[in-house]
């Protein structure tokens, strides 16, 4: 073994260990590789940086923007509405339509984004049909993962492997070529989940009260805030009349945080958002959240010349038209993970206040302002409805869960949905017929979406998952270094020496198993970058066409059904579905086996060896 090969293998093993540990983040590990690789002498600094200009990286970035435009123009919400409308109250019909819609939409945009969009839709549908969400959440995640087997642009591994084929002088894959394998898997998965849903939870109808959409008081009770919310009246002649909220201390760390202002008008009462410079008016009622049930509210009111009103109960009206209250989940890789609400400056940046935090379905005690957030935490947020609706456009930060009943008083306007659909259709047609390189088509699509007002520049930049792009850009030159060091040939030779005399299906099955196993513990994109050159070398050693081997890697990289940590898609449904680790294993393992059988069975038929 040469020094160059040994050094690259050390970097490979170290990066795999860090990927599994999750610290530091995978994109940081990729940057570390970019820095370290030139020191091996295998690639230059300019070659180490070439990944950032790779067409597949540009294509993936552009598709993030396309997906965001579909959300902002209301296309995805319209699809969700159609799903609820056409299911007709049937659980089986809902499951079939959900998987078809989720897979179809994920075939053209981020599967993680699609699942984030569908979670509140599934929660709402489950309540209306009086069934438990866990019977629908896993079918949602499975369909989103299978979408990677439907189109070229459905998932980054497909685009990375296609780019490698083109780089080696081959034609690459067609836009819908993946669907030859994905459609049979999707059909089987739908039938499979219709049968296996019984193992996800009881099928009996849940109590009617539990099936209704939550109302504000229900949410407060769920987060343990019932004993910590109070109405404070400002009597005429009070010494706080005319003072601003920040002067009154309701924005300070003194144990009280204001949720809303109830102000009487000639038309009745209205609820106002708390603003730091908002002056207090006589006869105002302040709805506040106490830091703990033991807080001395009586002493606080006496010190500020305030009066306590009747306690808030389930029947008590709460803010609805102007002030919203909603649950949101902290997704994996969110920039909020590891930060407290104060450190994240949620109120300053997004106009949202964190009233409570639930972890493992239990309210977090103590002052939530200083509580560090973790992936999977659910937050109770208050703020303007317009801001809450915009959460759907920032799914990387927070995933909006089911809207409360009071949200019906606020109906957002859908604009330019037909324009976005037309532009998307044009993109698909152009990619299908190969009019231009895919990256160029995607960039033109982004420009068209911006010109026609489907997305603004700031939203476009926010939509891009920079961690994914940096990860891919860092791993591409590493694959080149591994190839130059002889690591790719070594891996291919090992496989050929072991299975070379066997039938091609045995080699394909081995390649599928190795890729699928790696994808369970590290990013499927990183797996594709590493396994792509090995698949090409195996094909060359067998004197066979490279397409079936590269397609095998692509299909295996999308088979992340068996663990909740194998994909962000699985992590998103983990808490809303109330699943355990074993649930993914018992449902996902047979499905992964069937996918391998389809791949190994069809690849030699579709492609000539």
Averaged pLDDT, 379-391: 75
Distance CA(279)–CA(311), nearest Å, equals 24
- The CATH superfamily label for domain 323-401 reads Regulator of K+ conductance, C-terminal domain (3.30.70.1450)
Percent of the chain with pLDDT over 90: 15
pLDDT at 447 over 80: yes
Res 269 pLDDT > 80: no
pLDDT in tens, 236-262: 878 788 887 767 665 544 566 777 788
The answer to whether the CB of 301 falls within 8 A of the CB of 541 is: no
For 321-355, the pLDDT digits (tens) are: 566 778 888 887 788 888 888 888 776 666 678 88
Q: Give me the pLDDT at residue 412, please.
A: 47
Q: What is the mean pLDDT of the chain?
A: 80
CA angle in degrees (0–180, nearest 5) for 72-214-190: 65
Could you read off the pLDDT of 503-532 as tens digits, one per residue? 788 889 999 998 998 887 777 887 888 888
> CB under 8 Å to 130, separation ≥6 — which residues?
205, 206, 207, 208, 211
Token pair 């799903």 is found at 83
What is the band of 603 on the pLDDT scale with cuts at 50, 70, 90?
very high
CATH topology of domain 216-308: Alpha-Beta Plaits (3.30.70)
CB 528 within 8 A of CB 555: no
Q: What is the mean pLDDT of residues 37-56?
A: 86
| Higher pLDDT, residue 80 or 374 | 374
Under DSSP, the state recorded for 97 is H
Degrees (nearest 5) of the Cα angle 609, 508, 597? Answer: 110
pLDDT tens digits, one per residue of 448-495: 999 998 888 877 887 787 877 888 888 888 877 877 877 777 777 777
DSSP 410: -
CB 111 within 8 A of CB 155: yes
Phi–psi pair at 395, nearest 5 degrees: -65, -15
Q: What are phi and psi of 402, to 5 degrees?
A: -65, 135
Measured from the Cβ of residue 273, the count of other Cβ atoms closer than 10 Å reads 19
User: Of all helices (H) and strands (E), which one includes residue 329?
Assistant: strand 323-329
Tokens of 13: 């093993």
pLDDT given for residue 254 in this prediction: 56
User: Tell me, what's the pLDDT at 237?
Assistant: 78
Q: Residue 194's pLDDT band (boundaries 50, 70, 90)? A: very high
If DSSP codes are grouped into helix, strand and coil, which group holds residue 260?
Answer: strand
Least confident of 151-155, 264-268, 467-471: 264-268
Query: Structure pTM?
Result: 0.70
On the question of pLDDT at 499 being above 80, the answer is no
pLDDT band, very low/low/confident/very high, at 375 (cuts 50, 70, 90): confident
- In this predicted structure, the answer to whether residue 595 has a pLDDT above a threshold of 60 is yes
- pLDDT > 70 in the chain, percent: 85
What's the pLDDT score for residue 209? 44
Query: Per-domain residue ranges for the chain?
Result: 57-205+417-464, 216-308, 323-401
Each residue of 571-586: pLDDT tens digit? 778 877 888 878 888 8
What per-residue confidence (pLDDT) applies to 599? 93
- The pair of structure tokens assigned to 239 is 């010494």
CA distances 416 to 80, 330, 411, Å, are 17, 29, 16
216-308 shares its CATH topology with 323-401? yes
Beta-sheet strand order (sheet of 353-359): 362-363, 353-359, 378-384, 323-329, 399-400
CA distance 224 to 293: 10
Calculate the CA dihedral of residues 54, 60, 61, 66 and round it to 10 degrees. 150
What is the per-residue pLDDT for 413? 47
Q: How many helices (H) and strands (E) does the chain have?
A: 27, 10
């Amino acid at each position: 073994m040469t020094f160059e090969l040994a050094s690259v293998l050390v970097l490979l093993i170290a990066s795999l260990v860090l990927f599994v540990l999750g610290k530091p983040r995978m994109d940081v590990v990729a940057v570390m590789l970019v820095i370290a690789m030139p020191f091996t002498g295998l690639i230059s600094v300019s070659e180490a940086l070439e990944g950032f200009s790779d067409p597949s990286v540009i294509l993936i970035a552009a598709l993030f923007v396309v997906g965001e435009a579909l959300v902002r123009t209301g296309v995805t919400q319209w699809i969700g509405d159609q799903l609820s409308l056409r299911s007709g109250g049937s659980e089986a019909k809902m499951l079939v339509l959900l998987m078809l819609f989720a897979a179809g939409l994920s075939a053209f945009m981020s599967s993680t984004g699609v699942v984030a969009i569908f979670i509140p839709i599934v929660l709402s549908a489950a309540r209306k049909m009086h069934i438990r969400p866990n019977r629908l959440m896993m079918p949602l995640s499975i369909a989103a993962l299978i979408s990677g087997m439907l189109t070229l642009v459905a998932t980054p591994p497909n685009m990375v492997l296609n780019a490698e084929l083109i780089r080696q002088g081959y034609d690459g894959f067609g836009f819908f070529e993946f669907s030859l394998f994905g459609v049979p898997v999707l059909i089987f998965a739908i039938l499979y989940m219709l049968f296996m849903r019984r193992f996800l939870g009881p099928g009996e109808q849940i109590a009617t009260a539990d099936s209704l959409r939550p109302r504000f008081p229900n949410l407060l009770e769920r987060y343990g805030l019932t004993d910590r919310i109070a109405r404070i009246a400002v009597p005429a002649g009070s010494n706080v009349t005319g003072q601003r909220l920040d002067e009154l201390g309701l924005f300070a760390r003194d144990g009280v945080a204001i949720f809303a202002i109830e102000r009487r008008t000639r038309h009745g009462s209205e609820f106002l958002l708390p603003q730091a410079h908002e002056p207090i008016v006589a006869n105002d009622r302040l709805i506040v959240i106490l830091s703990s049930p033991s807080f001395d509210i009586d002493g606080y009111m006496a010190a500020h010349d305030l009066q306590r009103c009747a306690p808030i109960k389930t029947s008590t009206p709460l803010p609805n038209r102007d002030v919203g209250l909603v649950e949101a989940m902290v997704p994996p890789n969110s920039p909020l993970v590891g930060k407290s609400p104060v450190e994240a400056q949620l109120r300053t940046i997004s106009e949202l206040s964190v009233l409570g935090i639930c972890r493992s379905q239990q309210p977090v005690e103590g002052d939530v302002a200083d509580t560090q957030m973790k992936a999977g935490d659910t937050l109770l947020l208050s703020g303007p409805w317009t801001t809450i609706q915009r959460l759907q456009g920032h799914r990387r930060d927070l995933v909006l869960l089911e809207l409360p009943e009071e949200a019906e008083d606020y109906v957002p306007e859908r604009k330019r949905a037909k324009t976005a659909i037309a532009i998307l259709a044009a993109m698909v047609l152009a990619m299908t017929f190969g009019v231009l390189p895919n990256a160029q088509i995607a960039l033109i699509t982004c420009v068209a979406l911006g010109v026609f007002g489907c997305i603004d520049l700031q939203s476009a930049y926010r939509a891009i998952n920079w961690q994914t792009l940096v990860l891919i850009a860092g791993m591409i030159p590493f694959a080149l270094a591994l190839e130059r060091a002889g690591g790719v040939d070594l891996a291919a030779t090992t496989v050929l020496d072991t299975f070379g005399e066997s039938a091609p299906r045995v080699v394909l099955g081995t390649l599928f198993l190795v890729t699928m196993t790696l994808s369970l513990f590290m990013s499927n994109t990183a797996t594709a970058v590493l396994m792509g050159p090995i698949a090409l070398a195996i094909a060359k050693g067998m004197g066979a066409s490279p397409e079936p081997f590269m397609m095998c890697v692509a299909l295996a990289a999308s088979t992340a059904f068996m663990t909740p940590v194998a994909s962000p898609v699985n992590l998103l449904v983990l808490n809303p579905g109330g699943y355990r680790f074993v649930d993914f294993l018992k449902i996902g393992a047979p499905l992964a086996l069937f996918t391998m059988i389809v791949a190994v069975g069809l690849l030699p038929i579709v492609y000539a060896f």
